[in-house]
A and B are shown apart, each in its own frame.
Chain A
Amino acid sequence: MTQRGALSSCRKHRGFIAGWPAYGVALIVAASAVYSFAPRTYPPAPATVVHANDLLVTQIAHHGSRWLSAGEQGHILVAQSEQGPWHDAKVEPQRGSNFNDVLFVSDTVALAVGHESWIVRSEDGGETWKEVMFDAERSEPLLALAGPYDGTLFAIGGFGQYLTSTDEGKTWQRATHEALGDRHLNDMTRLGDGNLLIAGERGLLALSCDNGATWTALPEIYAGSFFGALALKDNGLLVYGMRGNAFVTHDRHTWVQAAVPGKISLFGGTVDDDGSIVLVGENETVLRSTDGGKTFAIALAGERNRLIAVLPAEGDGWLVAGESGVGLRKPGGKS
């Protein structure tokens, strides 16, 4: 009995040893099956980041080798070259409100303003931003920054908001001016003679001859809103706004309406190194005038998005920003 049992178990044992290549194959196949049918993963896709060409950008600022783009939901993009690449700066705390303007105060200090009276300040050329002011209850936005003019910075905005700072934007003082009322103040610039000008809602043009201490409204030349003002190289002044309305003056009394093709609203402008005037607006249009603002011609036109800001770029073309982000545009195609 025991002998037979031992023999049979021995035979079984021998059977297993003799069959080892087959068992080996079966094991390898089982292992391959586990490997082959194990849950599959995909190679990692590019990370989720804010795309510079798919963000509402309301303003661009340039100083030395740094470019800043501010806009939607508290994003400020930073680049070392006008061609990019752009990366997201650190804004703390991130309030998620839109920025409307960004400005270099010095080599390292920069400021940005936006909705809910949000003011942020950077001391490292725009990489990190600290909050100076924010008021969630105040729904009117700050729309523009200007200065520093003789050491004073200005932040203006909706419903006559008017703030000044004399310490590079660390602290701000609110003020009200009767001449400005409760209109939206869209832009401020300093003229060749040192006077300050604010352009705003419903034809508002106001002048200050004492660096912003007092303001006087100029006689109305147009009932619609002005979105911006440019000091020209020939000491002239150009104001622009809704539906293709732009006016030039050299004495602040006589205004000449510029000939603008199409009735597109104009939201931003700059003066090129050669003195030609560039305006941007609806339908991704870039307009250019080489006769001091008397006539504008379409330099570039695109799709339905609006352009809000423009800076001269190296060589031919401009760095533009707007509803389809920030990017270089050259006559003869996008780049």
Chain B
Amino acid sequence: MSAAAGRMERVVDGFARRLVAWRHPLSVLFFAMTVFFGWSATRVQLDPGFLKLIPIEHPYMRTMMDYMRDFSGANTLLVNVRWKGEGEIYNKPFMDALQKTTDEVFFIPGINRTKVSSIFTPSTYYIEITEDGFNGAPVVPPRYSGQPEELEEIRKNVRLSGQIGLLVANDLKAAMIRADLQDYDPSKGQEGQRVDYWEVQARLSEIRGRFENPNKYVYKMKADSGPFKAGETVLEGFVDYGPLLRFNSFKVLKTAEGADGAESYTLRGDELDVEIVKNPEFNPDIEVNVIGFARLLGDVIMGLLGVFAFFALAFVITLALLFGYTRSLKLTLVAMVVALLPVLWLVGILPMIGFGVDPMSILVPFLIFSIGVSHAVQMTNAWRQEVVAGASANDASRAAFSKLFIPGAVALLTNALGFAVIMFIDIPIVKELGITACLGVLLMIVTNKMILPICLTHVKLEDYCRRHSLKPESALMVAIWRGIARCAEPRIAVGIFAVTLALLAGSAVMSRNLVIGDSGDGVPELHADSRYNRDNRQIAKSYDIGTDVLTVIVEAKEFEGESCLHYDVISTIDKFELYLRGVHGVQSVLSVAGIGRLIISAFSEGNPRWRALPRSQAGLSAGSKAFDPNLGFNNEGCKAIQVLIFTRGHDGQTVAHVIAEIKRFIADHPVQGVNMRLASGNVGVMAATNEAVAEAEETMLLAIFGALAVLCLLTFRSLKATLCVLVPLTIVSIFCNALMALLGIGLKVATLPVIALGVGVGVDYGIYLFERIQHDMRDGRNFQDAFYEAMRTRGTAAVFTAITMSVAVGTWTLSALKFQGDMGLLLSFMFLVNMIGAVCLLPALGAWFFKASAKAAA
């Protein structure tokens, strides 16, 4: 055992010598790499996307993907125009605004134009039953011009159309435009191209600004460019970009002289002058609410801009803490620069492996920076101790490398492992997070363990720092270290066990309240009082159909002709509909069966006693208007039919209950040739995500703890040492679950990686400390003395690191994005408490584990 350790030390020493000897050529190489990655980093792009957020391998999501072309899936946009003035919506200013907005939505690139609906689209019919049969016509007369009698007619037609609660608000104070975004834009050629979400959200902002913003922005060319002349007005808009204008680009259509058609030109914001004028269309009585994935993405990206502010804040705080700790400007700067290197390299690598930055992976650079600082602190600390003890910069670098390479590399490998197990989660965005974080940590083995020692060979420690370091430790510090070291006394250790177990019992019970999925309403990405969530509430409260929809796809492929005309098919759906209306958590249900029955009763003079499904094909064909694929409830021939289930909220419990009840219905009602498949819609996505998360949780925990156990066993070759390191981590993981339950944070895509990240990073403290303890115990010291020594040499750095990292990720809690805030809070907690576990519980466990061996050694 000790021979192997000695061999390892010799190998590491050899590395250290070569590293210092070859430092000049290596410096050139690393510098070249940094320049290259720096150049590459400028090409990194935002890469959000709807499909990245969902577990695409989950059976529910396969159902969704199979019918993406027939049904909208979950990518629906709702634009609600709300009248805040006197009376109902039937007035000219409102109707004009609604008409204008309908047109604008229609022309958003990527919109499925056949499925845009508002009372202004010709697909919205009304049916009037008279003694002679019934009349049907579009709700808004084709030649609408806003005359009072036309407004009265619209009022009557809306009532007859049955759209109140659907396209017109129940309180008659608002009307809505529904549209579906196709993730592939059919207008862009056969293959289709992904929807430009940035452009969609910009267009939505314009739609809102047109009526809500008192100002209008007129853009003029600063200088001649292409077909444009200086001073030429090229664009008008309703969104105030402020100082961010320069980062935007605009597409402008222009017919060049002599050319046949208009061509599209892209103008950069910095080419334009903006003039603010009064917006003639501004109407304080009109409010525009927009919800849907595209709008959400826009708001999330706006929230992301805040990330740069947190990064700056975290950087400044770290800088101050680092200087306070090292008392050397040079060391502080070196540590900071070296900690930034893996961030730069990582961002440089992203475009090369085809990754971009998304709302979740944007947090990785923070994490890498924090981890980088923590390792840099250990290294500079060891180097300073050597230098102060009289070594030259070169010798100190070599010694620091030799001492820290093993624990540092093991710690980084465990970090990488922690991030790698995140890839078990079958959701692309989380996988990418795992891959980027894993990559970043591996890069750090090069930057921290190789570049940092090389940099340090060039540093001459400042005299004031040397003097400060030579000062004997203050009485207070000695008292603190002595105090902490007493944790390693068996008697004190028993007290620590008692406190730990009491906390553990409480947390374990509390942690059972942890909810998988979201808790609360509104979109979980944003805070409850964000504009998006306010819009969401506004729409949910004034319409019958909520914004939380779960879709079940009913396949009926084997039936002859129109499947909806087969009683077996349609009555199953009808039964399903009634069953669902009785399920707790379901607000309303829409399907061909209910609509078909309504139409059949309309054919029978509107008598609701005829609102039933006839058993013959001839009878059912009376309702065939309901089976028109353009209504969006079924595809051609009713081979697939979607049942829309609107749920009350989307908290984990509601989603799980509704899904379980649907599964029960499907099991209890087998019908030959009819296959009911879960699930689409935003709640379908959540159900799939929740199930994927629940499934991944166990795998992920077993993987990370298993891998850590193996790594610790390999490093320390001792079960006791492994337990000393892992037991505190396990406890903190339980604490973390309890904290989540307490704060009402659900276990979801954003919070699932937290435990893996927290444990992967938190294990560092234990590894650094125990490596030192083991070293000293091998030299014959007892556990308590070895721990005191480890605390003195590495403990300060560990404590300092924990505080720095907690503060750095703690800045995320200021984010406009709720999930970033949640992640920041939990990680901050994990980092800090893991450190406390490492300096209090680890020695307490060690004190008992090594009690006998200490006596034996004595």
A binding-site residues for B, Cβ under 8 Å: 11, 14-15, 17-23, 25-26, 28-30, 32-33, 35-37, 39-40, 42, 45-51, 54-56, 58, 72-73, 96-98, 100, 114-116, 136-137, 139, 141, 143, 158, 184, 186, 201, 223-225, 227, 242-243, 265, 267, 282, 303-304, 306, 308, 322-323
Sample of 19 more A-B contacts, CB < 8 Å, known A22-B723, A26-B727, A158-B610: A15-B853, A18-B855, A25-B501, A32-B505, A32-B731, A42-B657, A45-B657, A48-B582, A54-B581, A73-B578, A115-B612, A139-B619, A223-B131, A224-B131, A242-B129, A242-B131, A242-B606, A267-B609, A303-B170
Given A37-B698, A96-B571, A308-B608, A25-B129 contact (CB < 8 Å): no
Closest 7 CB pairs of A and B: A22-B848, A224-B131, A98-B612, A18-B852, A15-B852, A45-B657, A32-B508
Per-residue A-contact encoding for B730-751, CB less than 8 Å = 1, 0 else: 1101100110000000000000
Contacts of B574 in A (CB 8 A): 73
B852–A19 CB distance below 8 A = yes
Contacts of B579 in A (CB 8 A): 48
- Bound-state Cα–Cα, A15 to B652, Å: 48
A-B contact list, 26 entries, CB within 8 Å: A19-B720, A19-B848, A29-B731, A32-B504, A32-B505, A32-B731, A33-B733, A36-B738, A40-B516, A42-B656, A45-B653, A50-B578, A51-B581, A58-B608, A58-B609, A73-B574, A73-B578, A96-B575, A116-B615, A141-B609, A225-B605, A265-B605, A267-B607, A306-B608, A308-B608, A322-B608
- B135 contacts the other chain (Cβ, under 8 Å)? no
- B510 (CB) vs chain A CBs: closest residue: A36
- B268 contacts the other chain (Cβ, under 8 Å)? no
- Bound-state Cα–Cα, A49 to B581, Å: 9
Q: Given A20, A28, A37, A303, which contacts B701 in the complex, CB threshold below 8 Å?
A: A37
Contacts of B508 in A (CB 8 A): 32, 35-36
Q: Given B609, B611, B698, which contacts A143 in the complex, CB threshold below 8 Å?
A: B609
Contacts of A72 in B (CB 8 A): 578, 612
Q: Given A21, A97, A225, which contacts B612 in the complex, CB threshold below 8 Å?
A: A97
Given A19-B851, A45-B653, A29-B730 contact (CB < 8 Å): yes
B730–A33 CB distance below 8 A = yes
- Bound-state Cα–Cα, A136 to B610, Å: 16
- B572 (CB) vs chain A CBs: closest residue: A96
- B501 (CB) vs chain A CBs: closest residue: A28
Per-residue A-contact encoding for B813-842, CB less than 8 Å = 1, 0 else: 000000000000000000000000000000
- Bound-state Cα–Cα, A201 to B501, Å: 80
For residues 657 through 696 of chain B, which have their beta carbon under 8 Å from a beta carbon of chain A?
657, 661, 694
A56–B733 CB distance below 8 A = no
A50–B582 CB distance below 8 A = yes
Contacts of B737 in A (CB 8 A): 36-37
- A323 (CB) vs chain B CBs: closest residue: B608
Give B462 Cβ to nearest chain A Cβ, in Å: 45
For residues 57 through 91 of chain B, which have their beta carbon under 8 Å from a beta carbon of chain A?
none
- B130 contacts the other chain (Cβ, under 8 Å)? yes
Contacts of B507 in A (CB 8 A): 36
B694–A11 CB distance below 8 A = no
A14–B605 CB distance below 8 A = no
A25–B159 CB distance below 8 A = no
- A53 (CB) vs chain B CBs: closest residue: B581
- A31 (CB) vs chain B CBs: closest residue: B508
- Bound-state Cα–Cα, A50 to B579, Å: 7
Contacts of A28 in B (CB 8 A): 501, 504
- Bound-state Cα–Cα, A306 to B849, Å: 78
Contacts of B653 in A (CB 8 A): 42, 45
- B496 (CB) vs chain A CBs: closest residue: A25
- B370 contacts the other chain (Cβ, under 8 Å)? no
- Bound-state Cα–Cα, A208 to B607, Å: 25
